[in-house]
Amino acid sequence: MEQEKGRYLYGVATSERTVRLGPIGIEGCNVYTIPYEDYCAIVHNCPTKPYQSTDDETVKRWVSAHQGVLDEAKERFGTVIPFGFDTILQPGDKATSPDQVVKDWFKGDYERLQTIMEKIKERDEYGVQIFYEPGLIGRQIAEQSQEIQKLKEEIATKSPGMAYVYRQKLEKAVKAEIEKLADKWFKYFYSRVRHRCDDIMVEKTKKADGDRMMLLNISCLVARQKVDNLGEELEKINNMEGFSVHFSGPWPPYSFVAKAVVPIKGE
């Protein structure tokens, strides 16, 4: 169809066949594979314009469908290199067919795909976030730090005005101590988790819900038979007083396929 000259890409798998996966794509689009040598691209046909919406529910539905196709592809083909949302190829001129654009891209990127496929083969991505409770940790610090103990004793003897100033001093001292500790914990937990992954990416920490603070936010690439080891280690951390762990997955290795793109000049 004239208006469906775009090819929305979900992922790349190892298969030489043209396979029809059915109407499981975004907005019920028919998903199928375009083979090139020993690989295939998992695609649907679409107009040459991106999916755009300012409605959260619509975007969530699209994103879930995108993920759903990759789940199905993993079932069928094993390992899949995932694309991010809204990766659409279009022919540069009228003479080129949309499928040819996909094949041309395969040709140009073949070696990079091989490297990535080798790296992520039989592996999945997991999201790991470690949180701490500043209140509880703060109390523990207050009990242990002599400086803080001393400040507390002094507060008891001060006038209300001065006590206020001291309490602020105290809060600042506890906060500084927590920051120092957080740095230590970060390294400690990172090394404990790192040993149980094939690769790891440190992500930005975010504001957490409730009274928790996010200490560590990482993506882990883990061989499928080794994920239990990671789970056991995280369970130990989760059982530590004042700490908790959020463990999500398995995801396609989204965080481990974006590297090794075009090297930045000077690197």
Partner 1 sequence: MQPSRDTHATLVDLLDRVLDKGLIINADLMIHVAGIPLLGVKLNAALAGMETMLKYGIWQDWDEAQRATATEERRRKEEVSLIAGQ
List contacts with partner 1 (CB under 8 A): 6, 11-12, 48-56, 58-60, 63-64, 66-67, 81-90, 92, 101, 104-105, 108-109, 116, 125-127, 203, 206-207, 209, 219, 227, 231-232, 234-235, 238, 245-251, 254-255, 257-258, 261
Which residues are 217's β-sheet partners? Answer: 129
Q: Let me know: does 174 contact 167? Beta carbons within 8 Å.
A: no
**Distance, CA of 7 to CA of 91 (rounded, Å):** 9
Shortest Å, Cβ 258 to partner 1: 6
Cβ nearer to partner 1, comparing 111 with 209: 209
**Distance, CA of 58 to CA of 100 (rounded, Å):** 31
**Distance, CA of 18 to CA of 36 (rounded, Å):** 10
Query: What tokens were used for 100?
Result: 């040819």
Cβ nearer to partner 1, comparing 12 with 148: 12
Shortest Å, Cβ 226 to partner 1: 13
Q: Residue 48 CA to chain centroid, in angstroms?
A: 28
Cβ nearer to partner 1, comparing 145 with 244: 244
Shortest Å, Cβ 66 to partner 1: 6
Cβ nearer to partner 1, comparing 80 with 170: 80
Cβ nearer to partner 1, comparing 6 with 25: 6
Which residues are 23's β-sheet partners? Answer: none
Shortest Å, Cβ 158 to partner 1: 26
**Distance, CA of 125 to CA of 127 (rounded, Å):** 7
Shortest Å, Cβ 150 to partner 1: 29
Contacts of 176 (CB under 8 A, 6+ apart): none
